[in-house]
Structure 1
Amino acid sequence: MQSITSSSYAVHFNQRAYDALNTHLSEKTYSKIFILVDENTHTHCLPNFLAQVRGDYDFEIIEIESGEENKNIETCTGVWNALSELDGDRKSLVINLGGGVLTDLGGFVASTFKRGIDFINVPTTLLSMVDASVGGKTGVDLGPLKNQIGVINQPQMVLIITSFLQTLEERQLRSGFAEMLKHGLIQNKAYWEALKKVQDFIHIDDLIYDSVVIKNEVVLQDPTEQNLRKILNYGHTLGHAIESYFLESKTHKTLLHGEAIGIGMILEAYLSKELLGLPEEELKDIKSTFLSYYDKVVFSKENITTILSLLKFDKKNSHGNINFVLLSAIGTPEIDITIPDELYEGAFAYYADH
């Protein structure tokens, strides 16, 4: 597969990714090279990754705990301290080998250590390959509130090595697939139709490539999310609130990102029908497709009230308004839509209804 050029870097795939990395390392004179991993990628991905590196480099491995609950400033502090203790300086490189939590956090750590050092992202989950691989968003959560702290800063390159997908559980693969479905809904109905036929989430290199192209084209037109890039947040306004609620809950099982935004996309499709005239058959198609991939979640009235209270923390909000991305049709998004409060109950009722 050809490399995809973004604003200041390229996304490379499979063997081309390793070739690009080896060329980059041979041309640069990094004082130190750090590889940030979690316990899963340390075991399942790092040995294969290092086996493909040509040259004699003294890598320092820094391990953090996996999971959204560890995507916080406390974890960053631990990594910053490790970089300092291991003599990291402004000529050091950080390679982030992991999923979206790790690449978001690792990119933020690198962007702020010594006021910014080089980093390379090697996404190892389907979610991070199609979502975190493009756009330069880095950051961490503030308590249960998603991505409240961070900066937009571009890596030196992104390396997508699809064989790492074989290390993932089915649930993780399905989570990443939700972002691919979103790309179809916001940009390309034909792509949406192609995705609906997918049952094997590992051997989908061409579809992963298509998703990266879709996201890259949006980001190139609006790198700092002033207008168009907001369409990438379809399903995420309610989805992030749901994800945050379940992350903090003591009585509910935590939802993965894709599971939460899948619910968000159904809810926001209902709002799209009510406010923008999304055709009824497309609404039904969206609901049935997501429910064919993701288990339905039961929400009590108390759950819904708490979830709606979290909407005020959404990053797209401005001037006191909660701004949504909705669809007038599959492939046709509209941004900065405000929702009358009375519609939320109907959206959750539609999701719950068989």
Structure 2
Amino acid sequence: MQSIKASSYEIVFNTSGYEILNTLIQTATYSKIFIIVDSHTQEHCLPLFLSTLETSIAIEVIEIVPGEENKTIETCSGVWDALADLDADRKGLIINLGGGVVTDLGGFVASTFKRGMDFINIPTSLLAMVDASVGGKTGVDLGTLKNLIGVINNPKLVVIDTGFLATLPKIEMRSGLAEMYKHGLIASKAYWQQLSDLTTMTTNDLNALIYDSVFIKNEVVLKDPTEQNLRKTLNYGHTLGHAIESYCLSHKDLKKLLHGEAIAIGMILESYISAKITGLPQSQLDQIHKVLSDMYDPVSFKKNDIEHIIELLKHDKKNSNGKVKFVLLESIGKGIIDQEVPNELIYEAFDFYAATP
């Protein structure tokens, strides 16, 4: 697959990606290489990745505990301590080998240790391939509040090897698929239609869909790298989705949701709101509800749950002057930013979500 040019780096794919990675390492004269993994990627992905590296530079592996609940400043402190103990300097290179938690946290660690080290993302989950590893957003959660601490800082390279997807459970694949659905909903009706029926999907089809998803996100980021306008559309489904994810993480009586599972719920809710505020046609709302409900298991929310979820909206990063700002849809393929939504409409949206499509 052809590489995708981002603002200051390339997104490269599969075997050719490793060739470009090795060339970069050989020409950049790094003092040492630090590979950040979690316990899953340490076992399932690291041996394969190390077999592709062609370098005599010293390599150190730093392992973190997997899971969104460990995407914290405390975990960063552990990695910073490890880097200091291993005599890391600003001429070192950090390679983040893992899913969205590893690429988000590893990018933030690299961006802040000694005021900045180069880093490369090697995403191993579908979610990280199509979303987290691309676009330069790095960061960690503040308690259960999603991604409140972080910076936008681009990697030197992103290598997407879809072979790593063979190590993923189906639930993780579905989580990543949610971000691909989002890319279609905000930017490409044709892409959304491709994703609407995956019953006959082949490996080649999946590779092409991943490529197109990355291409869509990169085009948005190129036009608005610091999220002043257009890039906000990438948060579609995330205003309520992040609040739902945070709420479920902090309540032991509720099932913890993977990021994509929460975002899928958020997209159904925000599609209903879109039909009421920005004119999303009823037929498109029904299609979105049906496709996402068929893909993701339903979650039951009580009135008290919804009240607390709405309260969490005040922490959303898109808020301005104390007002919650939503991304809504005018139609499939066209997102509208900076929309205010009354709370009563959010309650209605949860009623709609609970109904069978």
Q: What's the TM-score once normalised by structure 2's chain length?
A: 0.98
Counterpart residue number, 2:333: 331
Which whole-Å deviations, capped at 9, do the CAs of 1:199-252 have from their partners, x for residues lacking one?
458650000000000000000000000000000000000000000000111111
Task: Kindly provide the amino acid, as one letter, of the partner of residue 101 in structure 1.
Answer: V
The answer on whether the counterparts of 2:104 and 2:133 sit within 8 Å (CA) in structure 1 is: no
The answer as to 2:313 corresponding to 1:311 is yes
- How far off its partner does 1:32 sit? 1.1
Matches within 5 A, 1:1-354: 1-199=1-199, 200=201, 203=204, 204-354=206-356
Is 1:5–1:11's contact at 8 Å kept on the other side of the alignment?
yes
The 2-side partners of 1:53 and 1:88 are apart by 20
Deviation string, structure 1 residues 70-92 (Cα, Å, up to 9, x no partner): 00000000000000000001111
* Identity between Structure 1 and Structure 2 (%): 62
The question of whether the paired residues in 1 share the 8 Å contact of 2:31 and 2:57 is answered with no
TM-score by length of 1: 0.99
Is the CA contact 1:177–1:201 (under 8 Å) kept in the aligned structure 2?
A: no
Q: 2:121 is paired with a residue of what secondary structure?
A: strand
Count of residue pairs brought into register by the alignment: 354
The whole-number CA distance in structure 2 between the counterparts of 1:208 and 1:286 is: 20
State the Cα RMSD in Å. 0.9
* 1:133 Cα deviation from its structure 2 partner: 2.5
Query: Secondary structure in 2 aligned to 1:190?
Result: helix
Quick one: distance in 2 between partners of 1:256 and 1:143? 16
Residues of 1 paired with 2:254 and 2:202: CA distance? 27
| Deviation (angstroms), 1:57 | 2.8
Distance 1:244 1:25, change over 3 A: same
Q: Is the 8 A contact 2:330 2:336 kept in 1?
A: yes
One-letter amino acid of the counterpart of residue 329, structure 1: S
CA distance in 2 between counterparts of 1:55 and 1:323 reads 48
Distance in 1 between the 2:154 and 2:304 partners?
Answer: 41
Q: Deviations over 1:99-143 (max 9, x none)?
A: 001100000000000000000000000000000122100000000
Q: Report the residue type matching 2:175 in the other structure.
A: S
Q: Which runs of 5+ in 2 are unaligned?
A: none
